[in-house]
Amino acid sequence: MIKIADILPGLLSETSKTLRRSEIRELLKITKQPGVISFAGGLPYPGLFPIEEMKDVVNTVLDREGEHALQYGPTEGDSRLIDYLVNWMREDEAAEIDEENILIVSGSQQALDLIGKIFINPGEPIIIGLPSYLGALQAFKGFRAKFIGVPVGKEGMDVDKVEEILKEYGKKGERIKFIYVVPDFQNPAGVTMTLKRREKLLDLCYEQGTIVVEDSPYRELRFEGKSVPMVGAMDKKGYAFSLHTFSKILFPGTRIGWIIANKAIMDKLVMAKQPVDLCSSPFSQSVIYEFCRRGLLKPHIERIVKIYRKKRDVMLEALEKYMPKEAGIDWTHPEGGLFLWVTLPAHIDTEEIFPKAVEKKVAYVMGSAFHFDRSGKNTLRLNFSYPSEEQIDEGIKRLTDLFKEAL
Ligand SMILES: Cc1ncc(COP(=O)(O)O)c(C=O)c1O
């Protein structure tokens, strides 16, 4: 008899051979060891989940519409939730959209996968940030995209570099399929793209004929400063695809997000989603809709913003207090979101230091994990939403000792 283990490798598709486990998910296993202060994850603080309110919301949903909520639903999503989102986006973002521009997805991670599926043929070029959200790299890699990296600095993605690349490809008669950006409090760097850069990015897309995929899970988590309009809200010509999620502003456990997209492409997104999950959980959507209908979302966001702002402040204060700036260590000052980005002198390799950090019971994610070309060796990402204020102070102290040793 043929052994299944002998034939499986030969049965695998070319795409599946390129798939890799997420380094962060692997890392998180190590950081769960007792006593480790973890700045590695990207998790919302679970103490802020509105569990008591949810008990009542869930009971109401089951009593009122259990038969509907526990049944399959339309692929596009629950029309009540879509209506709520349309009104929200119109009021807050001045986005010119209606119900047909929204598709409910199972987390914005699914949106990234669907976008990859409908746009990327193997080997086709897309522009992504250096650094970029790891889950996006994973999703687009699954469709064998050719990554073209553009540096992301304190003002967001370098749009002059984007212009250069688009023009260079244009001359060759090739088109960049899309540009992936996280303009608000980027994961991983915590930086926000300036209005000027957003405007230029959109103009470039119109001029050179490419689209922008705007991933926006952190936008509502602003601690200070003035909100900058979303690229998707500035776009009046259907070039921007915006991705949103309840994961960071409410909780990730229901796995509900939404895409705002050009109607002309909506059908493709729906068809790409159907074979994956038929529809996003109708129960989750009913529960989230009920939570929002009761007017609980906005006060909840206000509450978590207050707490994350304090945690960010504690992390910035600890960095200021302990880290030797004069030794060439620099970090970003995020105006919102969950992350902060540290840059060490060029000769320091944060991947090499990582095992020592775990010995000292403190964890981060090395910057190279967010660079598809494995550059950014001297950088690292710190999360401030999950650890307590005491842990943040102590963890930064431990990291400082480690970096001083390496220097
Ligand atoms: C930039 C970015 N996009 C997408 C996601 C995935 O979010 P969701 O839970 O909605 O799938 C995350 C989660 O960390 C993220 O940081």
Q: What would the pLDDT profile of 33-77 be if each residue is shown by its tens digit?
A: 888 999 998 889 999 999 999 999 999 999 999 999 999 999 999
Ligand 1 pocket test, candidate residues 185, 248, 273, most atoms within 8 A of CB: 248
Predicted pLDDT at 293: 97
Cβ(115) – ligand 1 distance below 6 Å? no
Q: Is the N-terminal amide bond of 229 cis, ω within 30° of 0?
A: no
- pLDDT category at 24 given cuts 50, 70, 90 is low
Q: How far apart are CA 95 and CA 120, in angstroms?
A: 27
Cβ(41) – ligand 1 distance below 6 Å? no
Query: How far, in Å, from the CA of 108 to the mean position of ligand 1?
Result: 6
Mean pLDDT computed over every residue of the chain: 95
pLDDT digits (tens, 9 = 90+) for 357-369: 999 999 999 999 9
Which has the higher per-residue pLDDT, 19 or 174? 174
382 alpha carbon, distance to own chain's centre: 15
Query: How far, in Å, from the CA of 256 to the mean position of ligand 1?
Result: 11
pTM of the full predicted structure? 0.96
Instruction: Give the percent of the chain with pLDDT over 90.
Output: 87
Cβ(245) – ligand 1 distance below 6 Å? yes
